[in-house]
Amino acid sequence: MANPEHKEALDRLDKVSVCMYRLGISVFSLALLSYVFVLLDKAMLFSLPNQFEYYTLLAVGVSTALSAANVHVYSKWVRAAITYTGWLGLVLLLSDIDMVRVWLSLGFVFVTFSGIALKESFCFKVVGLKIVPVLLAISVPLIMLELWLACAALLGVSGFILGYLSIVKWRMPLHFDIGIKARYEI
């Protein structure tokens, strides 16, 4: 957790991992906002090129890989839960060529970013961050049931909150993400 009084000495790998983590959050927020347009297209309220959904899901996959690989959490069990659900969601996303169980893949990805949102809400005071896990959890069955408009609204709000988080994160010093290295369980 961020401790402004403590400034950990960061090596190059620490700096790269923090930047990749923050980049993952930024890309995920943009991917959520892009997926809103995909859902509006499915509801026939918007018209998109055929490949737009694939590129949006590719952005979801990239953001998941970036954030899951570089999340900084002291507890190894919490870190493993956040990380492994993301990797599982990524594997399911890559194995779903016909995109028939996107809801399942996104469900695991949403667990990862819900964990990240909760982690960040404990560390930093970002408005709306604690509601993101609820919004993401509700959106999974909405995708499965093809309730596109309701899901678009929830993912849009989540995308904006996470986008605001990413702006706040990029303004912070890098050592805020690392915290105190001695507290990490290996």
- Greater model confidence, 6 or 120: 120
For residue 166, which phi and psi values (nearest 5 degrees)?
Answer: -65, -35
Residue 106 — pLDDT band, cuts 50, 70, 90?
Answer: very high
pLDDT at residue 99, rounded to an integer: 86
Does pLDDT of 23 surpass 80? yes
| 107-144 pLDDT per residue, tens | 999 999 999 999 999 888 888 999 999 999 999 999 99
pLDDT at residue 5 is higher than 70: no
Q: Give yes or no for a contact between 60 and 109, defined as CB atoms under 8 angstroms apart.
A: yes
Whose CA is closest to 116, among 155, 157, 169?
169
CB 117 within 8 A of CB 133: yes
Q: Look up tokens 């998941």; give the residue.
A: 64
Q: Which residue has the tokens 């469900």?
A: 107
For CA atoms 175, 84, 160, 158, the dihedral sign is negative
Predicted confidence at residue 52, as pLDDT, reads 95
pLDDT digits (tens, 9 = 90+) for 56-65: 999 999 999 9
Spans of all domains in the chain:
12-180
The region, left, alpha or beta by phi > 0 then psi within -120 to 50, assigned to residue 10 is beta
